[in-house]
Structure 1
Amino acid sequence: MLGVDHPETLASRHERARWKGLNGDADYAAREMAQLLRARQRVLGPNHPDSLITQHEAATWRIEKGDVEGGMADLELVIGLRTKCLGPDSPDTLNSRLTLATMQASIDGSEEAVDALALVVRDIDRALGQGHPTRIKAHNTLKEFRKALGETKHHWRHHSDGQSSKCK
């Protein structure tokens, strides 16, 4: 029988929290990921890849719960740790960078934020193979932001009074 601190038990807790969050219970996911992070850091060490995965997830659930500033700061910390421990071209490091850039573009919506996302996608292209899931996700994400940005530019260009046709 596995104990509460066994790595497989911790992995199961991680997956359960993640799936509960994806199915609408962000409160549980955020709370459990924070507790699990402390357990994984104690058992595996703070720089272990599994601890870093949980730290990444804890940051994203923190954002989901509404603490955007704290969650983004946590993601920046994860990026620094992953860069140091796994390297700048690690798929995990690049995924954390993609998550942060996506969150920033979602919040900001500016051309500059989308350009910053494009720089992360460029690094992903350089480091990962053509069919890598992170690369595919990155390109799809960038395409959606560019599409939204283009529609916004198009909208303001054709509605110089600042009102959309729905507001008239």
Structure 2
Amino acid sequence: MTDQRAARGADHPDTLTSRHSLAEGLLDAGDPAGAVREFERLAEDQGRRYGVRHPETLTTRNNLARTRAHAGDFKRAITEFKALVEDYTDVAGADHLQTLDVRLNLARMLGAASEFAKAIRACEPLLRDQVRVLGPEHADTVETRQLLANLRYRTGDVEGAIEEQEQLLAALSRTLMPTHDRITKLKRDIAFLKRST
């Protein structure tokens, strides 16, 4: 990559792509701090070359936020995901798949940071939008509903968790066989929750 940078320049698209691969490689190798540093520099350079809302820059910023979370820096990850939600909404629209995905990432990070009430407030409108745009059986919708059920349980709202799990079971029952492991586990989870009320 040093040769590429010297021959083509630090801001050449091929060099930027290689730097993105380097950051991902650092993360895969167990160096999240190194990956964060590389993603930070890359996002700054892409922002200067393309603009902070260019798709390449947005992808790098998304990866930077996820890598910060992987490194345990939930506060900065949450801040970045909030900014990404605004930017993706402005650039691509509220119903774009990438916007919905970034909103899910924000909800996940809030939950991982034990900010359960905020995570629930992020999940509820997201779930409504996913059901409307993607349908109740879509993998992302299913994931959000499962996350919301878990968050409700963590805040002591067992009835709310049961309701989400039952809706999840109904959605998955339309696409999976009754004997599928996921269906069996959901039924067990619902039974457990009902016994605990």
TM-score, scaled relative to structure 2: 0.64
Q: Matched residues in 1 for 2:144 and 2:25: separation?
A: 22
Contact 2:130/2:136 (<8 A) preserved? no
TM-score, scaled relative to structure 1: 0.73
Q: Tell me the CA shift for residue 141 of structure 1.
A: 4.9
Q: How many residue pairs were aligned? A: 156
Contact 1:47/1:85 (<8 A) preserved? yes
SS of the counterpart of 1:66? coil
Q: Tell me the CA shift for residue 50 of structure 1.
A: 0.8
Q: Matched residues in 2 for 1:76 and 1:5: separation?
A: 27
Flag the structure with more relative contact order, 1 or 2, with Cα contacts below 8 A and sequence separation at least 6: 1
Q: Which residue of 2 aligns with 1:104?
A: 110
Name which of 54, 65, 71 aligns with 2:60.
Answer: 54
Q: Tell me the CA shift for residue 112 of structure 1.
A: 6.7
* Ranges in structure 2 where 5+ consecutive residues have no aligned partner: 1-6, 159-191
Q: Which residue of 2 aligns with 1:28?
A: 34
Q: Which residue of 1 aligns with 2:19?
A: 13
Q: For residues 123-168 of structure 1, what are the alpha-carbon distances to aligned partners after superposition, in whole Å with 9 as ceiling and x for unaligned?
A: 123234788xxx514423532552575597468x759xxxxxxxxx
Matched, 1:127 2:124: no
Q: Tell me the CA shift for residue 77 of structure 1.
A: 0.9
Contact 1:109/1:149 (<8 A) preserved? no
State the structure with more CA Rg.
Answer: 2
Residue 130 to residue 138, structure 1, CA distance change in 2 (3 Å): closer
Q: For residues 67-114 of structure 1, what are the alpha-carbon distances to aligned partners after superposition, in whole Å with 9 as ceiling and x for unaligned?
A: 222221111111111111121112221111110011112333747734
Q: Which residue of 2 aligns with 1:90?
A: 96
